[in-house]
Structure 1
Amino acid sequence: VLDHVDAVGVHGFPLDWNLWQIQEWPQKIGEISTVTDLPVWVSEVGVSSFGAEEVQLWGLRRSAELLLGNASRVQWYSLYDLPREWGATTRHREAEGSSYYRHFYMGLLREDGTPKPALEEFLRYLPGMGLVQWFHFEDPRLDDAVAWMKRLGVTNLRTGLSWADSFRPNALDWYDRQMEALADFDVTITFCFTPEHRGVMPHHTSPPLVPEEFAEFCATMTRRYAPAMAASPVRAVRASAA
């Protein structure tokens, strides 16, 4: 697999979900670097304000100290808190207890769009630190998110295009609107979310029933939004492995 990708992406949330401590970040990156010369991207790192916003502030500062300079790319999750009424896309939802509810407090902005203390701290690490922000289908926050990121000086962003959404009416219109709005950023796309009717199991995390269908979705999106990369004879698509 490593012969066909440009970077190795890792995710880490040691203050919320991982069974290791935050100061182990350099060790984790070092372990990957011993088996590949590819750049290591921390393509998703964050700290929730579930317990206290001061915890998120400290966690952002400590993460930046440990990661900037040790990883080729660092992307903070996320800009916005997830609205509670939307629900978090996890395997077991409320049965996960407090682990589930932390998903709603990962943003630098609260659900109502007001800044948390960590937002001002985040400014210290630009442009070296990017953002992760997922947009739901026809997400009403898209334009405000773009305005915030431009105002902050964010230059690189990781987001997703949902395979499941491709079966909705007007899916291409939404993809086009999202990608046009993000055109001024260096965007890393994650192709995600299996449609329930096209999975081995009816679940968004399921392997595809027909792998070629997912591959065709990825290829179609790459041709549509990164045509120069799709036509290149060299490796073009960046892969992220959680």
Structure 2
Amino acid sequence: MIEAAMIWNEPNNKSHWNPELDPDWSIYADTVIRAGGAIQAVNPAITRVLGGMSPIDPHWLERMRKAGALDAVDVVAVHGFPLDWNLWPIHSWPDRIAEIEAVVPDKPIWATEVGVGSFGAEEVQVFGVDRTAELLIGRVPNVYWYSLFDLPQSWGAETRHREAEGSSYYRHFYMGLIREDGTPKLALDHYARHADKMGLMQWFHYQDPRLDDAVAWMKRLGVKKLRTGLSWADSFRPDALGWFDRQMEALQDFEVLVTFCFTPEHLGVEGHHTSCAKDPQQFADFCAWMIERYAPAQAVSGRLPAQA
């Protein structure tokens, strides 16, 4: 059910990893080394992916290399949103990829979160889908469009500063190809032309009511690859395993890149999901547990392990 595992989401983005607690990212590097080793020990066939960087920063990546984190992963990932959050034009995608290749010529580069929102106009998103596909498909091995669904306004975006970010915050709610009410945007048909070569990135919240609709849409579109997440924090909720099992079973027809992230408040240096863990080994143990459950080395196709 899992082809690859990403170790955190956007660790160099202060909205997802608190740099005040880990200013030199040494704790994150240690987290990667521990988690990468734990994943490999359970199933060496799983591709281990460094947390997708946003912004795309070769200097941060060089820091990760010097700290030894790149020795614990197989792939380096980048995230880019040039028409919404990044300060570079969409046409610069090849240059951004080349910057990272220069630091890690020995590892593949995946674009694990790319997107253009409809915040300004749906026609902008149409252009974004087509131009992104033109620039990245064939340039890197894997591309994942963010996202299938708009984020519901009532849920709130998983950022540290929320409304204080100004218009940047509100753009989070317009990144989908399908509106909150379930109706398709203009860009959906354009994405469908690339769906077999450009995967989707879709977060599913705990007990997410959109799961079945997402699976139906992805099969209709011809999507083959999906990136999603399994939340360490959610693993402490009631019936967490029941939800994880349902989610992963629903997604078993896709090649899944799973992202492990979100610190439980009681296990963080700070009581927040963006905090580094007090003990990074506990996060590594969570990663190993999820791989053992959903992608064991001797997995039986189409069957879930019995409830723990």
TM-score, normalising length: structure 1: 0.93
1:88-141 alpha-carbon deviations (Å, 9 max, x no partner) = 111100111110000000000000111101000001113110000000000000
Match of 2:93 among 3, 22, 25: 25
Partner letter of residue 75 of structure 2? A
Residue 193 in structure 1 maps to residue 265 in structure 2: no
Structure 1 residue runs of 4 or more that deviate by more than 2 Å after TM superposition: 1-4
Equivalent in the alignment of 1:7: 75
Asked whether the 8 Å contact 1:222–1:229 carries over to 2, the reply is no
- Residue 40 of structure 1 pairs with residue 109 of structure 2: yes
The residue aligned with 2:178 is 109
Alignment of 1:1-242 (within 5 A): 1-36=69-104, 37-228=106-297
Which consecutive residues of structure 1, in runs of 5 or more, have no partner in the other structure?
231-242
Long gaps (5+) in structure 2: 1-68, 300-308
Helix, strand or coil: the match of 2:252? coil
Deviations 1:170-217 (A, max 9, x none): 000000000000000000000011111211111111100111111111
- Give the structure, 1 or 2, with the largest relative contact order (CA under 8 Å, sep 6 or more): 2
How far apart, in 1, do the equivalents of 2:170 and 2:271 lie? 24
Letter in 1 for 2:180: E
Q: Distance in 1 between matches of 2:292 and 2:242?
A: 16
Query: What number of residue pairs does the alignment pair up?
Result: 230
CA RMSD across the alignment: 1.2
The Cα of 1:78 is off from its aligned counterpart by 0.3
Structure 2: how far apart are the matches of 1:89 and 1:227?
30
Query: Counterpart amino acid of 1:196?
Result: E
Higher alpha-carbon deviation: 10-19 or 221-230: 221-230
Instruction: Quote the Cα distance in structure 2 between the aligned partners of 1:143 and 1:163.
Output: 22
Once the two structures are superposed, residues 57-98 of structure 1 have per-residue CA deviations (whole angstroms, 9 ceiling, x without a partner) of 111111111111111100000000000001111110011111
Identity %: 70
